Structure 1
Amino acid sequence: MIRTLLGARPGRSLPAPLPAGTTAAEARDLVVRLGGRTVLDGVRLTATAGRLTALVGPNGAGKSTLLAALAGDLTPEAGEVRVGDRDIAGWSPAELALRRSVLPQSASLAFPFPVGDVVRMGRAPWAGTPAEDADDEAVAWALEVTETAEFARRPFAELSGGERARVALARVLAQRAGLLLLDEPTAALDLRHQELVLRLARERAAAGDAVVVVLHDLGLAAAYADEVTVLDGGRVAAAGRPAEVFDGALLGAVYRHPVEVLTHPRTGAVLVLPRREP
């Protein structure tokens, strides 16, 4: 039934793997207004094959809106979003589903699907293509790496919030699109599973995917991202490598709270901490 409703249509163009370093998606001078308020104002972003880009910034900065625009889930008032070699509007929904996968902030289902079926939904875009033969392998792999295989037969609705979040990620991974858009994938997770999710995102980038992830934890962004874009008030406040972007004065101004940026004494990693008075 899933394949009948969501599956491939004849005549789609199937994506070729992108060489590392090439542009998978790009936002050009985006302007988005919602409810009379300007949420994004002239924002630029490039998602590059083989790299993980983190979007950070305070609440209301426009991070999720930017991700939704990259996904094609909302249309900007001005500017352009390109996926691959064309404007995002030039792809049919079925073609776009082969090229990008999206993890929203919250995952909910109105029907009592087992976890295994939820993950298999990620394979629906490939129905009727040669890649359909990889469905079972892709689902099994996604369940294993997200540590959700043990409850594959349980109803999705019976899971905890953190378990649902990992199942939703498994669905995205099973889709095997070359562009992964992840909105706060660690929000409901404990420390161990936060690290697991970011390692998986890092591994997908190393395998050639373009990964864009919205994060609130600046320490995770510093540890795992190749590039960071800091949003503030709907504009890009800074963009570049974490070591370049994570500056105490800049972050303190963006977050309206004093921030310390330190170097780990053993690994040399960038550490970002809120400054607390004794």
Structure 2
Amino acid sequence: MRTLFGGRRRSLPERPAPGTVLAEARGVRVRLGSRDVLTGIDLTARAGEVLALVGPNGAGKSTLFGALAADLPAGTGSVTIAGRPAGDWTPAELALRRSVLPQAAALSFPFRVEEVVRMGRAPWSGTELEDDDDIAVAEAMATTETAEFADRPFSALSGGERARVALARVLAQRTPLLLLDEPTAALDLRHQELVLRVCRERAAAGDGVVVVLHDLGLAAAYADRVAILHEGRIAADGKPADIFTDELLSRVYRQPVEVFPHPRSGSPVVLPRRAG
């Protein structure tokens, strides 16, 4: 399907089949200053799956996130999005295929909350899907429980409220790949669970979700697959129940931990081992 936008013709993305590779890193190395932040990373994100990136501070999670989003170029290796090298897409084309939630959401002007969420619809301007703008915005705000302050200035919100509005913007964009960098960092317990339930719902609907998390319990409970980063490499990649072990997590985090199955769900529970 072809449509006009800004004087250029763009193809609208098809809905991917379950298991389709939406983003892929192969042999990715990123060097910042004099330090190799990522070294030889191989990773795939697939439709219908929640992939969590975990690891200690400085392990390279956000750098890998930036490379997968095509916001940070790889020094060596390759990143593909929707089957094409990331650099072959224009910014407008990328915005139809992946949406990105950065760690911090800052705006210079006092936009109303609804206006901020509506910014997520900008990539669809001039396409036949522009008619979905109102519905997409309303659904995203309802999902993130932000509709009640739709008319408030974004700058007047608390940190947690801003985080939920930023997520609503990403959801309103309605791309097949969602990339979320620490979306639960500023949230209370209720809204942490809400965000991860939304991730699961998007994956169940056929989207691919890549989410950077510090909370290993959330990753174990909600992710289909987890990649554990350690010193710029992937120490393990697989189902949480398979790779969350006392030995591996204790070594990666340099903190003795114990892992045991949750008595009801069976998902791994990770606790620091404490004296006494």
Q: What range describes the TM-score normalised by the shorter chain of this pair?
A: over 0.9
Alignment partner, residue 30 of structure 1: 28
1:111-130 equivalence runs, <5 A: 111-130=109-128
Cα 1:276–1:111 shift into 2, 3 Å: same
Contact kept? 1:9, 1:94, Cα under 8 Å: no
Matches within 5 A, 1:86-101: 86-101=84-99
Aligned to 1:174: 172
Corresponding position of 2:60: 62
The superposition leaves residues 99-130 of structure 1 with CA deviations (integer Å, 9 ceiling, x where unpaired) of 00000001010000000000000000000001
User: Structure 2 matches for 1:100-249, cutoff 5 A?
Assistant: 100-249=98-247
Q: 1:52-106 deviations in whole A, cap 9, x for unaligned?
A: 0000000000000001011111111100000012100110110000000000001
Rounded Cα–Cα distance in structure 1 between residues aligned with 2:120 and 2:134: 11
1:39 equivalent in alignment to 2:37: yes
Contact preservation (8 Å) 1:8, 1:124:
no
Q: CA offset at residue 35 of structure 1? A: 1.5
Rounded to whole Å, the distance in 2 between the matches of 1:268 and 1:238 is 20
Deviation at 1:9, TM superposition (A): 4.8
Contact 1:8 1:125 in 2 (8 A): no
Secondary structure, counterpart of 1:11 in structure 2: strand
Q: CA deviation at 1:270?
A: 1.4
Unaligned ranges ≥5, structure 2: none
Counting aligned pairs with the same residue, the percent is: 68
Number of corresponding residues: 272
Task: Give SS of 1:27's match.
Answer: strand
Q: Distance in 1 between matches of 2:43 and 2:184?
A: 22
Show CA shifts across 1:157-210 (max 9, x none): 000000000000000000001000000000000000000000001100110001
2: CA distance between counterparts of 1:256 and 1:141?
Answer: 42
**1 CA distance for matches of 2:138 and 2:24?**
32
RMSD in angstroms over aligned alpha carbons?
0.8
Give a deviation string over 1:19-52, Cα, whole Å, max 9, x none.
Answer: 0011011011100001211000001110000000
Report the secondary structure of 2:186's partner residue: coil
Deviation string 1:218-253 (CA, Å, 9 cap, x unpaired) is 000000000000000000100000001101100000
Task: Report the Cα offset of residue 267 of structure 1.
Answer: 2.6
